[in-house]
Structure 1
Amino acid sequence: MTQEIERAANIFKLLGDKTRLSMIKMLESQDYCVCEFVEIFKTSQPAISQHIKKLRDAELVQESRRGQWIIYSLNRDNELFSLVKSILAHLPNQDFNLKQLEEQGRRISCK
């Protein structure tokens, strides 16, 4: 029981960061590459990669290679995914981020 509490506390700590919480919400509806997150959050690639690493280390995010790109997706097989899903249910949809990039002609297609 203590291990479950520890893992849940770690999830809450990770998702206590606005950028990581937004990333997880965005990944709920589609997969992203780092370059798309860089454009959306207007921050450096190393900073985004650090956020991704923390999410990946917690097994909330998984990666797959598509050609030269690494694409990130939500790990729905994580044992605490139901907890994450219940948190995400209370957040607004974030799909507007990619739509906004497309409208500004700044969408980078990594797929």
Structure 2
Amino acid sequence: MIKPEISWQDFEKIDMRSGTVISVSDFPAARNPSYQLEIDFGELGVKKSSAQITELYQKEDLLGAQIVAVVNFPKKQIANFMSECLILGIYGNDKDITLLTPNLPVENGFRVG
């Protein structure tokens, strides 16, 4: 099912940026299996995020990986952790998430548009 149509102005409010994962740790306090990530967004600095991506990704595979995230959501508390951005991914049939990643290296903090 497709979601309701939005305006171009609605889309322009979403700030999606490239970043590089610089640390990954287990998140045992999360309700669903998750990792805690720190992501370098260049001039925007380092932001933290929780991600339910343990089915398809090992911690060592994520270190140094470039991702795409929404960086202008308000912070969200997840268990005892404050998530500062939303990493974007594609839900599979089994609800497994495949991360959206640039297919070529890009600078951290570059905008998606």
TM-score norm. by structure 1 comes to 0.25
Higher helix fraction (1 or 2): 1
Calculate the TM-score normalised by the size of structure 2: 0.25
